[in-house]
Structure 1
Amino acid sequence: MSNEARQPNATDVNVGHRVRMRRLELSMSQGKLAEILGLTFQQIQKYEKGANRISSSRLDEIAKALSVPVAFFFPESAHSSAEAMQVQELLSTANSLRLQRAFAAIQDPDVKRSLLILAETLASQANPSLEPS
């Protein structure tokens, strides 16, 4: 093995993103999850980044703590494309979860459509290859 820094395994990264996404959905801190599992929050950080591989028994404990089946951490789409991985990474951030919840709470379809057009317009200004639909 070379002296270069080892890159995290893609599966470990995907599983870590799913752990983070579910933890944030539950509004649970890394410290709280660590406490439930008898770990440090730094270990949870490493799991979520994919820097440390999660053993099968630990993944089972995490699944129970987050009230999901172990299969939750291995969605078929996570391995199907780079685009699916980007979506998964995006959905694992606190701000995107807040945005999803806020968007879902809007009842008026015209307001939702206007908000979507605004977001697409702002995105296209930052990245011209993303033109509004």
Structure 2
Amino acid sequence: MAANVRATRIAQQLSQEKLAKMVGISYQQLQRHETGRDRIGAGRLQQIAAALQVPVTHFFAGPPEDATSDVVSASTGDDLLRFLVSEVGVEFNQAFRRIRCPDTRRDIINLVGSIARQHK
């Protein structure tokens, strides 16, 4: 849940300071929530959801079971989530989403895959 709060905040291009101010807490407190150091209570989660304009259930969503069961192990899934919420991961995904042509998207996936295999 904490990672989903962070991912949603980053996807909406909000800083911790900005979201914390919207919720009425310090950015340090928000940081502790996002890292899982402090539990996010129901009331606080509702405030965060309202500020991010998403339903509370959004933070409980994970990848569909069948989407990762055969392809991504738990540790790889953790690595993937860390990448997706990183600055580079968000920037890459935002740029990739702007590409509308499916063939171009597939070409980019193939290119990145080829480069990754060379750097193993």
**Where on the TM-score scale, by shorter chain, does this alignment land: which range?**
0.7 to 0.9
1:112 CA displacement: 2.1
Identity of aligned residues (%): 35
* Aligned partner (choices 55, 61, 69) of residue 41 of structure 2: 55
Distance 1:76 1:98, change over 3 A: closer
Answer 1 or 2: which has greater helix percent. 2
Residues 74 and 124 of structure 1, relative CA distance in 2, 3 Å threshold: same
Deviation at 1:76, TM superposition (A): 4.8
- The question of 1:108 aligning with 2:94 is answered no
1:64-103 to 2 correspondences below 5 Å: 64-77=50-63, 82=74, 83-103=76-96
Distance in 1 between residues matched to 2:119 and 2:26, nearest whole Å:
38
In angstroms, what is the RMSD of aligned CA positions? 2.3
- Give unpaired runs (5+ residues) of structure 2: none
CA distance in 1, matches of 2:81, 2:87: 13
Distance 1:102 1:73, change over 3 A: same
The answer for the alignment partner of 1:12 in structure 2 is none
Which ranges of structure 1 fall in alignment gaps of 5 or more residues?
1-14, 128-133
The answer on whether the counterparts of 1:78 and 1:88 sit within 8 Å (CA) in structure 2 is no
Alignment coverage as a number of residue pairs: 113
Give 1 or 2 for the bigger CA radius of gyration.
1
Normalising by the residue count of structure 2, what TM-score does the alignment of the two structures yield? 0.79
